[in-house]
Structure 1
Amino acid sequence: MGVAGPKAGGPARRLLVGRDQELDRLFGMVDQIATRGGALVVRGEAGIGKSALLAAAGERARERGAAVVTTTGTQSEARLAFGGLHQLLLPFLDRVGHRPDPQRKALDVAFGATEGDAPDLFLIGLATLGVITEREAQAPLLLVVEDAHWLDRSSAEVLAFVARRLEMEPVILLFAVRDGVPSALDEAGLPDLTLVGLDADASRTLIDVNETGLSEDLKRRILAEAAGNPLALIELPAAAVDLDLTRGWEPLPLTARLEATFATRLAGLDADVRALVLLAALHDGNLAELNQAAEELLGGRLGAGYWAVVAAAGLGTLDDGEFRFRHPLIRSAVYQAATGEQRRSAHRALARTLAGNPDRAVWHRAAAAPGPVEEIASALVAAADRATDRGGLDIAFAALERAAGLSADPRLRALRLARAGNLANQLGRSAEAVRLLRAALQIGRLPAHEAAMAAFDLETLTRAWSGASTIRRFARIAEDFADRGDGRRALEALGAVSVRAYWDQLDDKTRRHVSVFVERLAVPADDPQRLAALGLIDPIRRGPEVIARVARMSQAGLPGPDESMAVGRAAMAVWADNLALPFLRSAVAGYRADGRLARLAQCLMYEAWADVNCGAVRNAITSADEAARLAGEVGQVRFGRAASLAHAIAVAELREEETADHLITDAEGALVPMGASPQLSLISFARGRAALAADRPAEAYHHLARIYDPADASHQPYVCGWALADLVDAAVRGDGDLDLVRGLLTEWEGIAVATGAPHLEVQVAYAGALLADDETAERRFQAAMTSRTAGWPFYTARTQLAYGGWLRRRRRGAESRTPLREAARVFDALGLLCFADRARRELRASGERARRRVPAAWAELSPQELQIAQLAAEGLSNRDIGERLYLSHRTVSTHLHRLFPKLGITSRAQLRDALRPPDGS
C-alpha cells in the first residue's frame, strides 16, 4: 500500500490509495471500540498492504482515545513456546500476579518464570483474557499482531481463544497473516478480511504519485507485472534499471521478482555488511545479540557504521535497540542470496552468542549441522521436554521431528518420529501425524508396545480401523504388560481402544476374551479405568458388575476429573445414565478448574447425552451447546457434532424444529465425510426423536428402526438400548411393525433382567405397557408408574401420559385426568414442552378445560444465556461465572443485562423464581 497526497477523511486515511472499503470496515470496528470489541484477521499476499491497513487502524484508535499495543511475529522466534504471547503481554505483565492462582501459575510456567506441571493451553488463554480485559486503566485497547503467521502455534491458539471472547469487551485484536504460510489462525473461525490487488486506476495513481519520470511503455509493463500489488507498484519502478525492466524480463512469480528487487540492494554492500544483514535475517532484531554474533562471525571486524549503511540502503530501520527489516520479503531476499555455508556459519555464530539460552541456541546449532549429530539431536529432545513442561506441544513436536532428522541411530530416529507423530496427533495435525508415524513404523526398530500404539494411531487417522484384529493386538500387548506385573500399563493399552470397541460391531468371542483379561488384571476391582474398560468392551456381560460397583462409589472419593469421567463413561456404557451424571458433573467441574478444555468438551458431550436419556433437556441444552463450542476451539469435530445431536433432541422438545433440523444436518454433513459410520446411529436417533417431538410418529419409526436393522449403516447394537421406548412409542402411534417391535422388546427385556441396567428397566416397563393387550395393560401401566420408573421422572410422566390416553380411549375420562395432569406438570418441570402439549391435548379430549401452557420464560434464552442465568441464580458472582465459562466478568455482566428483560425481571434476586418451572415444580 503506497503513499499518496492528503485525502479527505482524516490523517489515518490520507496515505492509502484504493482501500476505502477495507478502511471503512476497520474504522467501523475501531469507532465502536468503547462499547463493542472483536477480532479480525487481515489476509493477503506479501506486499498487498496488510501492515499499512493495520497502521491506519492503530492511528484511528489513538484518535479515539484507545491504547494501542503492537507485536510482530518473527520466524526465528516461532520455535519458542509462548514467545509471541509473551511479547504482546509485556506491557501488562504486572497484572499477571493479580490473576487467580491457577491462572497465574499457568502463565508463569508458560513464560518460564517458574517450574510446574504443564499448564493447559486454555487455562493460559483464560489468564490472558483476564490480563487484557481487567486492566486498572479501562481505556479501550487495540492489540495488533503483525506477521501473525510466524507466531508459535501455542501463542496463536491462545490469542485465537481470547479473540473469540472479546465481543463484549472494549478490546479489539487485529492479525495480519500472509497467504500461503500455514498458521493456527487459518482454522480459528475468526472473521477475516482478504486483501486483493488494487484496481487499474488505483495502481496507476500509486505509480504516478511515487515515480513521475517513467515512460508510458514502462508503466504498462510494471502495471502488468505488479498485478495491483502496492509494494511492487512502489519498488519495481525504483528498480527498473537495475532489473533491466526497460528491455523486458523473464516471467517470474511476483514474490520472486520483489525478492530480486531487494537483492539488488545487497550486491553493492561490503561483504562484512552483507554478513551482518544475514545474521539479522536468521535472528530476531535484538541489536546487542546481533552485534555479539557479528563479532563472533567477523572476528572483531564489526565496523561502527555498518548498521547505518544497512539503513541507508533501505533494507531496514534501527529503533529502540532493535533492527527491523522494512518488509519481510527483504529478510527472505537476504536469506536466498546467501550460500549454504554462509548460512551455516551465521547460525554457528548465533548459537555461540545464545549459549546461555539453550532453547534458542539449539535451533541455530541444528541449522548449522551438516548432517546427523547425536549431541545436537539429544539437545533438541531436551528442548522438546522443556517445551512440553511449559505446555508448548507444538514446539516439542517440531523439536522432536528435527531431532529425528539429526539421529544416526535408526532406533532413536524411529522413537523420535513416533513421539513427534503422537504430538502432532494431539495437536490435531492429522496429515503430519500420519507422515511421521508411517516413517517411524517403516524404520522397523520401535519396541513392540510403541509400534502398536503408533499403528493404532495410524489406523484411526487413516480410517483403516480393522476392528477385532486391532483389539486383539492390543490385548496381546496388554497381556505382555500384565505378565511383567504392570497392570496399570496394561489398562492404558486397552484404554486406547475401548471406546472404539464399544462403537464397533466386534464379534462376541473377542469381547469375551478381552473382558476376561481385564477382569483378571492386578488392579483394584473398583479402579475407574478398569470399570470403563469392562463397560465399554463388553457392556452386556459386564454390566451387572459395573452397575453394582458404580452404585457404591462416590465422586468425592476419586482423585481427579479423569477418574470421575471414567466412572461416568462406564455407567453410561451399561445404560445407567442416572448413575453416570453425578460423576460426569464432578469431572466437568474438575476440568473447568484445571482449564483442560479438550477434556471438558468431551465430558460435557457425555453429560449432555446422559441428560437427554434422563429427560433433563434444559441441562442438556446448556451442556451440549458449550461442548460443541469448545470442541470447535480444540479441533474435536466428532465430539462437537455428537454434542450437537444431543442438542438437537433437546431443542426439538421445545418445538424448535428448524433449529433441531439444522443441528442434525450440520452434524451429518461433518461426520459422514469423515467416515464416522458408528455415529450414524446417533443421527438416526436424533432424527427419530425430533420427529416424535413434532408428532410425526411414522417418520420417527422409520428413523429409529434403522438403528435396529443389522443390514443398515445406522445399526449400532448398544444405541438400541437408548432408543427402545421411543421406537415402541413411534410404532404404536405410527403404524410401525408391531411384531418386529415385540420381538425386540423381548430381547431387551432379557438384557434388562440380566444386567439390572436402570435405563433399560424403565424403558422395557414403559414399552411393555404400551404393547400389552387389554387384559394386562392396566396392571402393567400401574406397575411401571410405581416401581421401575422411580427416580426417572421423564419415564414416570411418559407412562402417566400413555396410561391417561389409554383410559380416555376406553371412555374412562374422569379417571384419565389425574395421571394426565401429573404428566403435564412433570413435563413442564423438565422443560419437555412437546410432551407437555400432548398431555394437555389429552386432557382437553377427556373433557377437562386444560389451560394452555404459558411459554417458559427460560425457553427464550440462548443456551449460553440460560447457563449464565442458572449459575447466577445459584449465587455465583460474575467473576466466578466467568472463570467457569472462560469469559470475562464484563461479558457475563452484559449477558445478564440482556437476559433480564427476556425473563421479565430487573435483578439477580429474581432469577431463581424466573427459572422455576410452573406450579413451583
Structure 2
Amino acid sequence: MLYGRDEELQEIASLVAAARDGRSGVLALRGEAGIGKTALLNAAVEPGLRVLRATGVEAEAELAFAGLSQFLWPVRDRLDALPEPHAAALHGALGSVPAERPDRFATGLALLTLLADLAETEPVLCLVDDAHWLDAATAESLQFAARRLTAERVALLLAVRDDRAPGACRVPCYPFTGLPELVVDRLAPADADRLLAARGLPAARRTDVIRQSAGNPLALVEFGAPGSAFPSGPAPLPVADRVLAGYQERIAHLPEQTRWMLLLAAAEGRGHLSSLLTAAAESGASLADLAPAERDWLVSVTGTTLIFRHPLIRAAAYQSAPADQRVAAHRVLAATAENPDCRVRHRASAAIAPDEEVAAELSAGAERARSRGGHGTAAALYRRAAELSPDATDRVRRTATAAELQLLSGHPGEAEELALGAEGLTDDPVEVTRLVRVRAAVEFERGDTRTAARMLVDRAAHTPSGEIVPLLRTAALYGWTSGETSAVRAADARLRAAGLDDRFVRGLARMIEGAYADGVPPLAAHVADALAAPPAAPDRADAVQAALAIGADDAVAVLTAEEIAHHRRRGLLGALPALLHAQARVQLERGLHGDAAASVEEAAALARDTGLTRRAGRLATAHARLAAIEGDETRVRAAGDAVPGGVFAQAALALLDLGSGRPDETVRRLAPLVAGPRRHSAGMMPPIADLAEAAVRLGRPDEARPAAVRLRAWADATGQPWALALALRCAALLDDAEDPYLRALDEHARADRPFDTARTELLYGEWLRRHRRRADARRPLRSALETFERLRAAPWAERARGELRATGEAVTSAPDADALDRLTPQERQVVRLAAAGTSSREIAAQLFLSPRTVEYHLYKAYPKLGVSSRRELAGLELVP
C-alpha cells in the first residue's frame, strides 16, 4: 500500500494504459533519496506486460553499457533477429562482438528497433531505477530511444535522484533532459500518519517521528521501526543525512568482520556475490559474516546477488569505514577481479598517489569503451588516467584525449574545462594544438565562430607542419561561415608562408577578396574531386561547404543525398544535422518546401540529441526564409529570434518586408548586409536582387548599383544559371530595359529555382503592363501566379493577381493545396519512401524511427491523401 501517492500512481497507470492502446510514453520520476521512487516503479508492473529492468549502480558508472547489459540480458536471444546494423550495434555495445567504427547513437537506434520488435507481441514496460548512476553510454542510448518512442506500445519509466532538493545527496548530472518529468514530493502529515499507523506505531510516538522525518517515507519507516531511535548528532540535519547517520550507527554496532564484509560489498558495488566471496576469502572473511547484517535488514542475499536494502545503506557502509580500510577493500577486490574493467576500477580507487601502471590500465579500459561507442565513459576513464599519471607529458596527452572525447559526447563545457586545465601544463606543440582545437570547437559550438577562427589561426604559427593544413582549413571554414574575413586571409597567408597550399583555403581567400575568377576554380575542382570520390571520403564534408560557397545547387544536392544515404545505412548520426541542413537549403531554393521543412525538422531533432546546440539554432534560418516566402510574419520573427543578429535571418526579414510592400524596410535591412563581411557568399547574392527591387520601387536605384555590379561579377565567375538570372534581373530593373528580362528568363530555364523564376516573371509582367502591353504581360503573370500559389507564397501571389486584374483578366481563386502539403514533415518523409516501395523496416532504419511509428505515420497520412493502402500511394505523384 502506497500512501499519499494517488497522483503519481494515476500518471503511471495512464502511461501503462497508453502503451496497451498502442501509444508509447516516457516519464521520469524525480525526487530525493528515500522518497519512494523505487516503490512507484514496482507499482507499474501489471500482468500482460513484458518488463525490462535496469538499475544504475555507482560502481558501474564508468563501465560502458553496463546498464544496457542489465536491461537487455533477458532478451539477448532476440538481438540476431534485428537488421544487421542494429544487431551489430547492440552486440558491439554489449561486448559480444567487436564494434566496427561505432557511432555513439547507433546503439540508441538499435535499442529503439529492439523495443519496437518486442512490443509486436505484447506491450513493453521499461523500468530504470537510479538512472542518475547509469553509465554515460547507456544513458545516451536510452535517451535517444526515448525521444523517438511514438506508437510502439512501450512505456519507459525512470527514477532519478533530485540533487536540487534541500539537503539532498549530490549525484552526477542528470542525463535525461527534455523528457516528461514528475516530481515526487514528501508525504503530507496526514498521509505520513496513515503510513505509521499501518505499521503499528503508537499515536503518542507518531507525531515526533513525522516531525523528525519531514515526510520522507524512508525516514518515516526507519525512525518509526520498533526499537529504533533518532540518530544522534546536531539537529536539525537534512533528512537524507539523518537517515544516513542512522544507518551508520547501526553498522557501527555490528561485529568487525561483518563491517568488513559490508565494506567489501559496498566497494564492489555491483552485488556480484561470487566476486564478493572470492575477495572475502582472500582476507579471511566468509558468507557467514554477513548474517548479522541480514538479521538487521541491512542487506539481503538471494541466489548469486547481494542487495543493499537501500542505496543509503551502501553509502553508510562505505563512508563509515576509515580511509585505509577502503583502500584495502579495493586492493583485495582488484587482486581477485576477473573482469579487466572491474580490476582497473578498483586499482584506481585504491590509488593514493600517481601510478603509471594503473593509469595505463585505465587508458586501455578507455579504449575498450571507445571501441564500443562509449565516448562519455572513455572520457571519464582518460580523465582519471591523467590524474594518476606521474609524467606530465602523459598527463597532458591523456587529458587532451579526454577533452576530445567529451566534445564527441556532446559535452562542450566539460571539454573546455579539461582543455584549459591541461594547456598550461605543457609546451609540447602537438598537444597544445590538440587542446586549442578542442577549445576552438567549443567556441564554434557556442556560436562565437570569430573567436574560434582566430584561435586556430594564431595557433598555426606554433603547429607542426603535418598538422597545419587541417588546422587552417578548419580556421578558414570557421572564418568563412562567420564573416571573419581576416581569419580566412590569415589562414591562406600562413599556408603560403609555410610553402603549403590547400585548394579549399585558397579558394575561400580569393573569394573574400572579390577575386571570384581566381577563387571559384580551386573550389570547383575540390567539389569535382569529391563528386568522383565514394561516400564518406575525407574531403567530402569540406566539399559540401565549397559547393555551397559557389552556389552549385546540383553538386550540393548530389553530395548531400549520397552522404545522407551512407550515414543512414551505417546508423551514423553525428554528421547528419549539417548534411540535412545543407540539403534543406537546396530543397528550399528548388521549391520543395515540404521536403525542406522535413529535413530541417529531422536535423533539429538530431542536433538536439547529439548536443549540437549551435546547429539547432542555425537551422532556424531555413525556417525563416520559408516563412518569409509564405508571408508569415509571426514565424519569420520567431525564427529570427532563435539567431538574433544572424545575416540570413535579417535577409529573411527583408524578403518579408519586400513581399509585404515595405521596400523602405527592405533597403534599411539589406544595405549593410550586402556590403558586410558575408557579402561574397552565395547566400548573400539573392538579397542583392531584393535590394535592387526595393531601391527601384523607392525611386533610388543608385543605392543598389554597386552591389549589382558585384553580383554580376560573382555570377560570371561561378557560371551558375540562377545567379546569372538574378544579375540580369537587376540590370533590367536598374536600367528599365526589356532585353535583360528575356535573357534572365532564359537563364532561369537552366536553373531549378522556381521562386526566383516567378519573381522575374512577375517583374517582367509588371514592366510589360506599365508599357501598355497588357496582352503580352498576361503570360508571365499567369506563370508567376501559378508558381506562387503552388509555393504558398501568399503575398507574392496576391501581387500577381492584382497585376493580372490590371491587364483586364479575370482571376480565379487559388486551387486546393497539393496533397503533400496536408502532411506533417515526418509524414511527408515516410509517405515518399513508402510510395517508392521502401518497406516499413527500411524506412524506420533510414529515418531513425521504429517500424511501428512508420506504420502510425502512414495510417495518419492515408486519409489526408485520399488513399487507403501502399498500393494506392504508388499511383500518386509523390516521388520528386
User: Would the TM-score normalized by the shorter structure come out above 0.5?
Assistant: yes
Once structures 1 and 2 are overlaid, which stretch shifts more, 815-824 or 875-884?
A: 815-824
Deviations 1:850-907 (A, max 9, x none): 3322222322211111111222222211111111001111111110110111222222
Distance 1:736 1:286 in 2: 83
The answer to whether the 8 Å contact 2:507/2:520 transfers is no
Deviations 1:121-147 (A, max 9, x none): 221112111112113861111010111
Deviation of residue 704 (structure 1)?
3.4
Deviation of residue 384 (structure 1)?
1.1
Distance 2:840 2:531 in 1: 27
Distance 1:597 1:182 in 2: 29
Q: Which amino acid letter does the alignment assign opposite residue 437 of structure 1?
A: A
Match for residue 647 of structure 2?
A: 681
Match for residue 328 of structure 1?
A: 311
Deviation of residue 841 (structure 1)?
3.9
Q: Does 1:766 align with 2:726?
A: no
Deviation of residue 614 (structure 1)?
4.4
Match for residue 29 of structure 1?
A: 15
Q: Which amino acid letter does the alignment assign opposite residue 480 of structure 2?
A: Y
Q: Does 1:77 align with 2:77?
A: no
Match for residue 85 of structure 2?
A: 102
Q: Does 1:118 align with 2:98?
A: no
Deviations 1:406-433 (A, max 9, x none): 1111111111112212222222223322
| Matching residue within 514, 520, 534 for 1:544 | 520
| Matching residue within 420, 423, 433 for 1:452 | 433
Deviations 1:520-545 (A, max 9, x none): 9999x9xxxx5544455553445321
Deviation of residue 477 (structure 1)?
5.1
The answer to whether the 8 Å contact 1:543/1:755 transfers is no
Distance 2:556 2:475 in 1: 21
| Change over 3 Å in CA distance of 1:756–1:85 after alignment to 2 | same
The answer to whether the 8 Å contact 2:535/2:566 transfers is no
| Change over 3 Å in CA distance of 1:234–1:21 after alignment to 2 | same
Match for residue 186 of structure 2?
A: 197
Deviation of residue 567 (structure 1)?
1.5
Matches within 5 A, 1:271-670: 271-283=256-268, 284-296=270-282, 298-299=283-284, 301-302=285-286, 304-354=287-337, 356-445=338-427, 447-459=428-440, 461=442, 466=451, 469-476=454-461, 480-481=464-465, 486=466, 489-506=467-484, 511-512=488-489, 514-515=491-492, 530-540=502-512, 541=515, 543-546=519-522, 548-549=524-525, 552-553=528-529, 555=531, 557-560=533-536, 563-654=539-630, 656-665=632-641, 667-668=642-643
Deviation of residue 75 (structure 1)?
0.8
Name the SS of the counterpart of 1:134 in structure 2: helix
| Change over 3 Å in CA distance of 1:752–1:460 after alignment to 2 | same
Match for residue 245 of structure 2?
A: 260
Match for residue 802 of structure 1?
A: 763
The answer to whether the 8 Å contact 2:436/2:456 transfers is no
Once structures 1 and 2 are overlaid, which stretch shifts more, 399-408 or 648-657?
A: 648-657
Distance 2:489 2:371 in 1: 40
| Change over 3 Å in CA distance of 1:701–1:252 after alignment to 2 | same
Distance 2:619 2:852 in 1: 28
Deviation of residue 757 (structure 1)?
5.1
Once structures 1 and 2 are overlaid, which stretch shifts more, 850-859 or 407-416?
A: 850-859
| Matching residue within 106, 129, 135 for 1:146 | 129
| Change over 3 Å in CA distance of 1:728–1:612 after alignment to 2 | farther
Match for residue 17 of structure 1?
A: 3
Deviation of residue 83 (structure 1)?
1.2
Name the SS of the counterpart of 2:152 in structure 1: coil
Deviation of residue 559 (structure 1)?
4.5
Q: Which amino acid letter does the alignment assign opposite residue 288 of structure 1?
A: S
Deviations 1:448-476 (A, max 9, x none): 13212312432553659547753533443
Match for residue 779 of structure 1?
A: 739
Deviation of residue 655 (structure 1)?
5.2
Give the TM-score taking structure 2 as reference length.
0.92
Name the SS of the counterpart of 2:561 in structure 1: helix
Deviation of residue 706 (structure 1)?
4.5
The answer to whether the 8 Å contact 1:547/1:576 transfers is no
| Change over 3 Å in CA distance of 1:109–1:467 after alignment to 2 | closer
| Change over 3 Å in CA distance of 1:107–1:633 after alignment to 2 | same
The answer to whether the 8 Å contact 1:618/1:831 transfers is no
Deviations 1:296-333 (A, max 9, x none): 2x23x31x433333221111222231111111111111
Deviation of residue 793 (structure 1)?
3.6
Q: Which amino acid letter does the alignment assign opposite residue 861 of structure 1?
A: L
Match for residue 166 of structure 2?
A: none
The gaps in structure 2 that reach 5 residues or longer are: 164-169
Q: Which amino acid letter does the alignment assign opposite residue 107 of structure 2?
A: I
Give the TM-score taking structure 1 as reference length.
0.88
Distance 1:555 1:459 in 2: 29
Q: Does 1:817 align with 2:778?
A: yes
| Matching residue within 685, 688, 697 for 1:721 | 685
Match for residue 906 of structure 1?
A: 868
Q: Which amino acid letter does the alignment assign opposite residue 346 of structure 1?
A: A
Matches within 5 A, 1:814-853: 814-827=775-788, 832=793, 835-853=796-814
Match for residue 167 of structure 2?
A: none
| Change over 3 Å in CA distance of 1:90–1:612 after alignment to 2 | same
Deviations 1:384-419 (A, max 9, x none): 111111111111111111111111111111111122
Once structures 1 and 2 are overlaid, which stretch shifts more, 874-883 or 817-826?
A: 817-826
Q: Which amino acid letter does the alignment assign opposite residue 476 of structure 2?
A: S
Name the SS of the counterpart of 1:787 in structure 2: helix
The answer to whether the 8 Å contact 2:639/2:649 transfers is no
Deviation of residue 375 (structure 1)?
0.6
| Change over 3 Å in CA distance of 1:449–1:565 after alignment to 2 | same
Q: Which amino acid letter does the alignment assign opposite residue 810 of structure 2?
A: R
The gaps in structure 1 that reach 5 residues or longer are: 1-14
Name the SS of the counterpart of 1:875 in structure 2: coil
Deviations 1:704-761 (A, max 9, x none): 34523659xx98977533522233334445x385332222212332333345455543
Name the SS of the counterpart of 1:591 in structure 2: helix
Distance 2:453 2:61 in 1: 43
Distance 2:524 2:455 in 1: 30
| Matching residue within 109, 117, 120 for 1:134 | 117
| Matching residue within 838, 851, 858 for 1:876 | 838
The answer to whether the 8 Å contact 1:153/1:184 transfers is no
| Change over 3 Å in CA distance of 1:466–1:126 after alignment to 2 | closer
Q: Does 1:897 align with 2:864?
A: no
Task: Give the number of aligned pairs.
Answer: 862
| Change over 3 Å in CA distance of 1:722–1:562 after alignment to 2 | farther
| Change over 3 Å in CA distance of 1:563–1:433 after alignment to 2 | same
Q: Which of structure 1's runs of 4+ aligned residues deviate more than 6 A?
A: 519-523, 714-718
CA RMSD of aligned residues (A): 2.9
